[in-house]
Structure 1
Amino acid sequence: MIGVCALLLCAVSLSPAAASEQAQAKAPISSTIAMIGAGNMGQALGNLWAAAGYHVIFATRNPGELDDVVATAGHGAEAATVAKAIEQAGIITLAVPYGAEPAIAKAHGAAMKGKVLVNVDNAFEHRDGEVATKAEAVGEAVYSAQLFEGTRFIRAFNLKGAGSFPSPEGVESADFEVPYTVNDESARHIAEALIHDAGGTPVYEGGLENAREY
C-alpha cells in the first residue's frame, strides 16, 4: 500500500521510474479529500481512505445529517458543506448521480480549478436524462472533464460496485484491478496512491479519450 506518503510526493518506496515521474510533477497537494456525495460509493471509498491516513471530508447539501457516516469512517473524518470541503481539500472526489454534475460544476467549478478531481460517476439515461445522452456521445470521462475545466482529472473506480470494495482491514489482502485515465500526467502518481490505498492495483490506460465505456 503506497499511502499518504506517495500522495505528498515522497519517493522513498517508489521505483526509479516512478520517482522520476514525480520529480516532474506539480507541487505537492493537500492530503485532504473532499468526498462530494455520501451514498454507498462515497462511503466505501471515504472509509478506506480515512483508514489509510487521508483527511476525509464528506460533503453534501445537508452535512448535519452525516453524523453516522462520519462516525463509521472515523480516523478524523468530518462533514461539511460542498463549498467548505472543496476549499479545504487538495483532492475532490465526485460520487454523485451523473446528472448532478453540471449543477455542481456551475456552482463550484471555479473553486476546483487546479485541484485533483477524481470522478467515479456513471451516466444512465433512465436516471440522468439529457446529460447522460450528451456524455455518452463524447465519452463520460471527456464530458465530465469539460464540465470541470482546469482540474487535474482522474477517471477511476466507476467500474467497481460499492459493495465489492474490501473493508479497511482487508485492504492488504485485496486483489482487484482498477483501470484509470487522466488529463494530466502529473496526476498519475496521485491516482495510483488512491487506488492502492483502496486495495486495488492501478491499470493506466492513458488519456481520457481512452476511457471507452467509462
Structure 2
Amino acid sequence: MKSTRRSIVKSLGVLAALPWLIPASRAFAVAPTRIGVIGSGSLGGTVGRLWVEAGHEVMFSSRHPEQLQDMVEALGPRASAGLPMVAAEFGTVLLLAIPFEALPQVGRDLHSAYRGKIVLDSTNPWGTSSSDVYREAHNLGVAQTVAKYMTGARLVRAFSAVDATVVATSASRAGGRIGMPIAGDDAEALRVAADLVRDAGCDPVVVGNLAASASFQPGRPGFRAHLTAPELRRLLGL
C-alpha cells in the first residue's frame, strides 16, 4: 500500500512539473463533481466560480445564503447557495475556506456531513490571536491543527498558499499558470485535488504528505510564492 501511494504521488509530481503534457482544459476526463464550498469569501467565491465555469456543480455556503443569491444567479444553473451543513451534505468534495478561528465549531457542527469525504483545506491563521486554535497551529502546525478538528475528513492542503486574485487570473497569466502546492496523506484525495486545481486554472505541485505542507504555510518559502510549477518545485527542493 505504501509503495503504491508513493508511486501515485510521484506520478502526480511528474505531471505537475511537466504541465505541457496536460491539456489546458483538463488533465483527466471525469464526470462533473458536486462541490460544497464552506465559506464563500474571496478565496471560496473565486475558486468556486472557476469550478462552475469548468463544468462542476457548486454549492456556495454562508450563515446568510440569501446574500449569495446574486452571485449564484449570475453563474447559472450549476451554482447554488445554502447553509454550511446543506453545502457539506451536497458536496462529494468540499472546499474549506473559513476563518481559522471558526475551525473548532465547524469541525463539530458539520462532522456528520464531511466524515469520509475529501476536504480541500485552504484555511490559515491570519495575524495575531489569543485563541486556543491559533496557539495550537503555532505549536502543532497548521495542517495538524486542522486534522485535529476535522476528524474523519480526507484532508488535502490546497488553495492555502495562493492569493485569490492570483488564482482568478492564473489561466491567462503571461508568465505561465501558477503552481499550486498541495499535500495530503490520502493518495486518491491527492489525485482529486490535483484535478480540481487544474480546473481552477492552476498547475498542481504535490509536495508530499500532510506534514510536508509546513513548507507552504504562512511564514514558509512556499506561501504566496506565486511561481510557475517548475519554479515552485525548485524553490521547495522537489
Whether TM-score is above 0.5 comes out as yes
Between Structure 1 and Structure 2, how many residues are aligned?
A: 192
Corresponding residue for 1:164? 166
Q: Point out where structure 2 has 5 or more consecutive residues left out of the alignment.
A: 1-24, 218-238
Measured against aligned partners, the alpha-carbon deviations of 1:130-167 in whole angstroms (never above 9, x if no partner) come to: 31121121111121022111111110111111111235
Q: Distance between the aligned counterparts of 2:77 and 2:29, measured in 1? A: 17
Retained in 1: the 8 A contact 2:170–2:178? Answer: no
Q: Secondary structure at the match of 1:35?
A: strand
Report the residue type matching 1:142 in the other structure.
Answer: Q
Q: Distance between the aligned counterparts of 1:133 and 1:92, measured in 2? A: 25
Q: Point out where structure 1 has 5 or more consecutive residues left out of the alignment.
A: 9-29
Measured against aligned partners, the alpha-carbon deviations of 1:160-208 in whole angstroms (never above 9, x if no partner) come to: 111112359748x951100110121111210111110111111111111
Q: Secondary structure at the match of 2:128?
A: helix
Q: Secondary structure at the match of 2:104?
A: helix
Q: Distance between the aligned counterparts of 1:128 and 1:161, measured in 2? A: 25
Corresponding residue for 1:104? 106
Q: Secondary structure at the match of 1:111?
A: helix
Q: Distance between the aligned counterparts of 1:174 and 1:67, measured in 2? A: 33
Q: How much is the aligned-residue C-alpha RMSD, in angstroms?
A: 2.3
Corresponding residue for 1:178? 180
TM-score (ref. length: structure 2): 0.74
Q: Secondary structure at the match of 1:205?
A: strand
Q: Distance between the aligned counterparts of 2:60 and 2:136, measured in 1? A: 28
Q: CA deviation at 1:110?
A: 2.4
Q: CA deviation at 1:4?
A: 7.6
Q: Secondary structure at the match of 2:168?
A: coil
Q: Secondary structure at the match of 2:103?
A: helix
Q: Distance between the aligned counterparts of 2:116 and 2:212, measured in 1? A: 22
Q: Secondary structure at the match of 1:34?
A: strand
Q: Distance between the aligned counterparts of 1:185 and 1:169, measured in 2? A: 26
Pairs within 5 Å for 1:116-131: 116-127=118-129, 129-131=131-133
Q: CA deviation at 1:84?
A: 1.3
Corresponding residue for 1:24? none
Q: Distance between the aligned counterparts of 1:66 and 1:4, measured in 2? A: 31
- The correspondence for 1:84, drawn from 71, 83, 86, is 86
Q: Secondary structure at the match of 1:211?
A: helix
Mean CA deviation greater in 31-40 or 66-75: 66-75
Retained in 1: the 8 A contact 2:39–2:61? Answer: yes
Corresponding residue for 2:10? none
